[in-house]
Amino acid sequence: MKVLNSYRRHSFSNVILIFFVLPLPFLSSCNSKSAKDKNNPIVIVDDIEIVKFDELFEETGKTVQLESGEDIMLGGRLNFNFFEENIYVLDRDRSRLLRFYKDGSFLNTIGKKGKGPAEYLRIGNFYVDKHGVTIVFTTGTTTNIYDYTHNGAFINSRKLENFSVMDIEKQNNQYQIYTSHNRFVHQYRIYQLESNFNIAGQFLENDFTGNPFATIEHNFVRLKDRLFLRESTQPIIYEITKDSVAPAYQFDYGKYSIPEEYWSKEGIEGFELILNNGVAFTRYFLQGDRYALIVVLFQKNGEESRINYIVHDKISGKYRKAILQESDNTYVFREPIGVGDNNEFLFMGFDQFEPLASAELKDGMEMKNPVIKYFKIAQ
């Protein structure tokens, strides 16, 4: 199985996972100030043509059922990464990383949770390359980096001092570090580090005056040798190169755009402000050779949340979108996790039900791990 890029799955309802008045490691929020780029004009979301979900996405008939079993059952908060013929799944509920083959059969776990020299306390994020799997987690302002083989054997560990890392990737022989909007710890959101951890570049300054609410999310998105950055409350998708971080897509969410006033508020006060006014969260970004998919969640107190699936045809330049109410259960497969090598989008879902820790199974119902289904863009 060859997959161009992948994304990490989160429940739509868990956009805002946790918030504090004081900044903490592994928490982030996003600056609403949009950069202007004449080569990437701002796309007004309200003006995009609306079509039905099944008029935008067509099933290809290809599905992958991840193997199930008592010791490998996955929770509800999952991150996916596809590399060569393997599927890597981070189970955040159990803080473990599992590797499956392209047909869904289970292969092995990566490392082990614990306090031993080859064990991790938890998993903040991870990335995969030809050398193996790298897991990171932050304690205070120290980030622990653990390297494993694809088979899960421990290689070594390192510490990155004075960095509270939210997400990490390797690009152009450099570490790309996302530190979040924690201006009390880091002046910038993006740092590029050499292999010896010396700073080679720094981008996206934390210039707000308040302390906005915090979210936990995955931010980097890879397409072959290209790397992008997505932030939930930021209407901009950035492309990261060795010497720059520049807008690739810019959107206008209309009345759901975050107001400037938000960035001077503290914690819960700012959170209540944007929910009362209405807010749009950029939840997913995936890009293949021809199409890009941007998924935006619109929320407002007193209204049902709705999800916009925006597809950009990079050849024609045309945008189309499908809108689903969050409570609409018509479409089980609705959370994008990757892009196939034939311009398919991979969606994750559960054939029977969303697993919950306290779920009671009905008679004859078998608990299963999620299914990955391939969709193509309808013409």
pLDDT digits over 282-336, tens only? Answer: 999 999 999 999 999 999 999 999 999 999 999 999 999 999 998 888 888 999 9
- The DSSP bridge pattern shows strands 78-83 and 86-91 to be antiparallel
Whole-Å CA distances, 74 to 204, 218, 329: 35, 18, 21
What integer pLDDT is reported at residue 277 of this predicted model?
A: 95
- Please report which confidence band the pLDDT of residue 185 belongs to, taking 50, 70 and 90 as the band edges: confident
- Please report which confidence band the pLDDT of residue 2 belongs to, taking 50, 70 and 90 as the band edges: low
Cα(164)–Cα(185) distance, rounded to whole angstroms?
8
State mean pLDDT over 207-222: 73
What integer pLDDT is reported at residue 143 of this predicted model?
A: 92
Cα(87)–Cα(99) distance, rounded to whole angstroms?
6
pLDDT > 90? residue 154: yes
What integer pLDDT is reported at residue 203 of this predicted model?
A: 96
Cβ atoms of 162 and 148 within 8 Å: the answer is no
Model-level pTM? Answer: 0.86
**Residue 76 per-residue DSSP state:** S
The secondary structure element, H or E, covering residue 95 is: none
What integer pLDDT is reported at residue 30 of this predicted model?
A: 37
**Total domain count for the chain?**
1
State mean pLDDT over 133-147: 91
Q: Which range among 74-78, 82-86, 210-214 shows the weakest confidence by mean pLDDT?
A: 210-214
- Contacts with 35 (C-beta within 8 Å, 6 or more apart), sequence order: 236, 247, 250
For 104-115, b where at least 16 C-beta lie within 10 A, e where not — what string? bebbebbbeeee
The C-alpha torsion from 95 through 96 and 102 to 108, rounded to 10°, is -170
Q: CATH code at 285?
A: 2.130.10
Quick: pLDDT tens for 22-62.
Answer: 233 333 333 334 444 556 789 999 999 999 999 999 999 99
**Domain around 343:** 3-377
pLDDT > 60? residue 83: yes
State mean pLDDT over 191-219: 82
Cβ atoms of 323 and 304 within 8 Å: the answer is no
Q: What's phi and psi for 271, nearest 5 deg?
A: -60, -45
Cα(23)–Cα(19) distance, rounded to whole angstroms?
9
187: alpha, beta or left? (left if phi > 0; alpha if psi -120 to 50)? alpha
